[in-house]
Structure 1
Amino acid sequence: MDLSQVFSDVFYKRVARTELESTNNHQHELNASNMKKFFGNPEDSINGRIQWLYFSDSQLESEESDFTYYDSRKRHPSRSEWRLYYKTNFISRFAGNGDLLIIARDTREKLYGFIFDCNSTWFNSALTLFEISAGSLFEKLVERTGLENVQLESRRKLLLEEAGLDLVTGYSGRELEDDADMLFKRFGNSFPPTREMSSLARQLVSDTHNPDDDLVNWISREEELFRALEKRFLQEKIEIGFADVDEFANFALSFLNRRKSRMGYALQNHLEAIFDNSGLRYESQVVTEGKRKPDFIFPNGRSYRNPDFESELLTFLGAKSSLKDRWRQILNEAARIKTKHLCTLQQTTSRDQLHEMEEESVILVVPEPLAYNYSSCNNVITLGEFITWEKAKQKLYTNME
């Protein structure tokens, strides 16, 4: 699977200060002469709709607006100057000089305008996602043949999910239908428990015997299975129809809630399998102070509740697929363990948030394929490093037993 199965054409450039100055003068235009091929080399102006999205470490914003692509020098006998006129204040509110602008058309002909803050970790993620060199950010069009060379492996799939983009457009056709048929035969006309879906995903993916790669591959495969089943159920329900608005609203809400909760449970399920394969001693959902239930305690709850078991030999690991401000929830889940480890699939977070975590003695555990934005951070380790460290710690008290 490659990026051409999600986007058919991609145009990128740096936002220039002069364009922002024009924006502040209410001209609402971007210099876009090199986008002419993107729009099919039009002879006259064209109109359409575009979904703008802004990414920074502190916020994600979105807005849809009309646009016009036109030649501002149309009446000039020898010159042309094509511009993208957009009917919104979105860019003037969020974009800054040097930000990365990517205009992309998906396989359903929908247009996106991605703006990535040049000082954010999202900027590096965008370069990774579209395989763009940081040294070549002048106006450039990447057509479908170029996108075919960018493999949409697990890291990029999860990055698109993190950006809030639905991958059903890219994961479609025969693959999706085959998965849906297999799931219906196995589980019938209902969503299976997440633990069963996680187990199936692991069976369908070859082990690499590398915990970081295995975790990412399993999570990505389970996401594909879930979306295949979800789309089949959604299609069937649409064909049947809804009795009224309330039935539609309740159906939509159940889908959204299932999406939100499923990934977190899937992460816990796959971590358990990895710890079992690694021979680690652990217990999940241990009851600690105030009936709180940490995701994982090493070696187990009995040792945690034993005052004679040294607290330095205990380990806490939380599991949250995304961070935002939810990372603070782990701080009071195990009072005996000062340093908290937190496994996440999130590939981008702000330096300020990482600094806050460091001050609270929180160490992030990020699978190596997703950790490229964290390479210079003191309080971030890979899953493999966490396992190696915990194995060494468990040897200390195993030898004393």
Structure 2
Amino acid sequence: MDDGNSSYFGIDLEVRSGGIEVLDSVNEIFEGAAAKYLSAVDADPARSNQHEIGGLPSVGFKSFLGTPGKSDGYPFPALMAYLTDDEDTELSRDTVTWYDARWRNPKRSPEYRLYYKSNPVTELIQPTDFFLIAKKRDGSLLLIFTPAGSSAEFQLRHLFGLPDVDQDFTSASMPSQTLILPIKLLLEELGVRAFDEKEVQNDLDMLLERFPDKFPKTAEFSAVAREVTDFDCITDPDAALIGWMEREEALFRAYERHIVSAKLRSGFGATGDDVDEFIAFSLSVQNRRKSRVGHAFENHIGFVFQEHKLQFEKGGGQRVTENKAKPDFLFPSFAAYHDQNHPTDKILLLGAKTTCKDRWRQVLSEGDRLEQKFLITLEGGISQSQTEEMQAKKLQLVVPEDIQQSFNTAQRATLYSFSQFIERAKASIC
């Protein structure tokens, strides 16, 4: 099974020996990108002869895709994704074709279009959806679709440098700034390497000595990430939280690559080709990826609170509010919350979600006694409509300082940093 490169259920693994190139800015990962809002002709095959998207030459994309021959065209391997604010990402690996729609008529000037086939992603696209196409430096394409006005759209526009988009393609400016953590997480979700595993090689060797055979518990992984980094969560909790999460993600992915690569080489079942065992293993890898980052986030947040000597409890077991809700963090305690004589202005409820999507509304129902609640997230570029709805529902959004740059100026004025929340907690409960 060791063919040098392995891909299973959307997870890419590089098994070859040698360095792994992971880059820090979008213009090092991609040659170029462009975006538009889809027209009915782009998205609805009933409105055109085929699944086609035109207009790319108008923004110079032909320089990335080339000049195809008369009768065939250039095929490009593509990863296609449909992102929404409230559902899991739909991914599909396919081939798209760049061709001249007028090749049969040599008297007319060429008209280059991108042809795509039906797949689970293209079945979801709708007119007015935001569409981004990016050419990777390995020669493949990334095609991303998301409903207009979604948080995913704003994140992608921030990432690629697209302040304005309409129904005609706009060329991306490809900014050179270092990728912030939520953008790295988004790219990793889309199959693009964004964490530099070379930087954690020494730490990985240490981790493999401690845990040679199987994944350690998330709390142990989080403790190692804090152990091997130099952040002061007393003076700068925002930088510490992001730094620990970055190191843990890079370390986790390097460790995962080592463990999973070894399993792929050894095969599945007695003869190495047991499909059921392979599927079960693949699902376990995916489930671990989905669940662990949220637990890591809570681990590091809780550690910071402990270092600041804040009184708090985490929801779980008998620690519940109304309707058996289990808030992520409650200050100072669940006993105080259930004591009707304890003033509500001395109680704080904080939800913790790496990404908001529609799940942020869960926090609203986790403490009926409290008019205002707090939510800390790693998600960048949340749409203004969502942040305005949060404000209307008295949910205060807490975003680490480095991630706040992905919000617009008006939104940033309404955000708490992690440090500001800690000061608010100290003032409220002490």
1:275 aligned onto 2:310: no
Partner of 1:373: 407
Partner of 2:16: none
Partner of 1:216: 242
Q: Indicate if the aligned counterparts of 2:149 and 2:383 stay in contact, CA closer than 8 A.
A: no
Partner of 2:74: 46
Q: Secondary structure at the match of 2:149?
A: coil
Question: What are the superposed Cα offsets for residues 258-290 of structure 1, whole Å, 9 maximum, x if unpaired?
Answer: 222211211111111222333433233371346
Shift of residue 70, structure 1, vs aligned partner: 1.6
The verdict on how the C-alpha distance between 1:249 and 1:68 changes in structure 2, with shifts beyond 3 A counting, is: closer
Shift of residue 365, structure 1, vs aligned partner: 2.1
Greater CA drift, 170-179 or 277-286: 170-179
Shift of residue 183, structure 1, vs aligned partner: 1.6
Q: Indicate if the aligned counterparts of 1:129 and 1:159 stay in contact, CA closer than 8 A.
A: no
Provide the C-alpha distance between the structure 2 equivalents of 1:177 and 1:212, rounded to a whole number of angstroms.
25
Greater CA drift, 262-271 or 346-355: 346-355
Partner of 2:135: 104
Q: 1:28 aligns with which of 51, 56, 59?
A: 51
Partner of 1:326: 359
Flag structure 1 segments of 5+ consecutive residues without an equivalent: none
Q: Indicate if the aligned counterparts of 1:5 and 1:171 stay in contact, CA closer than 8 A.
A: no
AA matched with 2:249: E
Partner of 2:185: 158
Q: Indicate if the aligned counterparts of 1:121 and 1:373 stay in contact, CA closer than 8 A.
A: no
Q: Indicate if the aligned counterparts of 1:55 and 1:115 stay in contact, CA closer than 8 A.
A: yes
AA matched with 1:85: Y
AA matched with 2:63: K
AA matched with 1:71: D
Provide the C-alpha distance between the structure 2 equivalents of 1:280 and 1:116, rounded to a whole number of angstroms.
40
**Once the two structures are aligned, what percentage of the paired residues are identical?**
32
Count of aligned pairs:
387
Q: Indicate if the aligned counterparts of 2:86 and 2:358 stay in contact, CA closer than 8 A.
A: no
The verdict on how the C-alpha distance between 1:268 and 1:309 changes in structure 2, with shifts beyond 3 A counting, is: same
Partner of 2:118: 88
The verdict on how the C-alpha distance between 1:176 and 1:239 changes in structure 2, with shifts beyond 3 A counting, is: farther
Question: What are the superposed Cα offsets for residues 174-225 of structure 1, whole Å, 9 maximum, x if unpaired?
Answer: 4465443232023322211211211221233332633223222221221111
Q: Indicate if the aligned counterparts of 1:95 and 1:115 stay in contact, CA closer than 8 A.
A: no
Q: Secondary structure at the match of 1:283?
A: coil
AA matched with 1:185: E
Q: TM-score if structure 1 supplies the norm length?
A: 0.80
Q: Indicate if the aligned counterparts of 2:76 and 2:140 stay in contact, CA closer than 8 A.
A: no
Provide the C-alpha distance between the structure 1 equivalents of 2:373 and 2:124, rounded to a whole number of angstroms.
38
Provide the C-alpha distance between the structure 2 equivalents of 1:241 and 1:76, rounded to a whole number of angstroms.
54
Q: Indicate if the aligned counterparts of 2:100 and 2:111 stay in contact, CA closer than 8 A.
A: yes
Partner of 1:183: 207
Partner of 2:6: none
Provide the C-alpha distance between the structure 2 equivalents of 1:299 and 1:43, rounded to a whole number of angstroms.
70
1:68 aligned onto 2:97: yes
Partner of 2:7: none
Provide the C-alpha distance between the structure 2 equivalents of 1:11 and 1:368, rounded to a whole number of angstroms.
28
Shift of residue 327, structure 1, vs aligned partner: 3.3
Q: Indicate if the aligned counterparts of 2:331 and 2:347 stay in contact, CA closer than 8 A.
A: yes
Q: Indicate if the aligned counterparts of 2:401 and 2:418 stay in contact, CA closer than 8 A.
A: yes
AA matched with 2:407: N
Would you tell me which structure has more helix in proportion to its own residues?
1
AA matched with 1:186: R
Provide the C-alpha distance between the structure 2 equivalents of 1:383 and 1:330, rounded to a whole number of angstroms.
18
Provide the C-alpha distance between the structure 1 equivalents of 2:43 and 2:312, rounded to a whole number of angstroms.
58
Q: Indicate if the aligned counterparts of 2:311 and 2:332 stay in contact, CA closer than 8 A.
A: yes
Greater CA drift, 372-381 or 340-349: 372-381
Question: What are the superposed Cα offsets for residues 74-118 of structure 1, whole Å, 9 maximum, x if unpaired?
Answer: 4536833322222338669635459453233264x4421123545
Provide the C-alpha distance between the structure 1 equivalents of 2:259 and 2:408, rounded to a whole number of angstroms.
38
Provide the C-alpha distance between the structure 1 equivalents of 2:299 and 2:292, rounded to a whole number of angstroms.
11
Provide the C-alpha distance between the structure 1 equivalents of 2:177 and 2:107, rounded to a whole number of angstroms.
41
The verdict on how the C-alpha distance between 1:76 and 1:15 changes in structure 2, with shifts beyond 3 A counting, is: farther
Partner of 1:288: 320
Flag structure 2 segments of 5+ consecutive residues without an equivalent: 1-22
1:298 aligned onto 2:331: yes
Q: TM-score if structure 2 supplies the norm length?
A: 0.76
Q: Secondary structure at the match of 1:79?
A: coil
RMSD between aligned alpha carbons? 3.6
Provide the C-alpha distance between the structure 1 equivalents of 2:118 and 2:276, rounded to a whole number of angstroms.
33
Greater CA drift, 187-196 or 227-236: 187-196
The verdict on how the C-alpha distance between 1:326 and 1:309 changes in structure 2, with shifts beyond 3 A counting, is: same
1:391 aligned onto 2:414: no
1:336 aligned onto 2:361: no
Q: Indicate if the aligned counterparts of 1:6 and 1:170 stay in contact, CA closer than 8 A.
A: no
Q: Indicate if the aligned counterparts of 2:353 and 2:375 stay in contact, CA closer than 8 A.
A: yes
Provide the C-alpha distance between the structure 2 equivalents of 1:285 and 1:273, rounded to a whole number of angstroms.
16
The verdict on how the C-alpha distance between 1:382 and 1:85 changes in structure 2, with shifts beyond 3 A counting, is: same
The verdict on how the C-alpha distance between 1:101 and 1:256 changes in structure 2, with shifts beyond 3 A counting, is: closer
AA matched with 2:257: K
1:258 aligned onto 2:288: yes
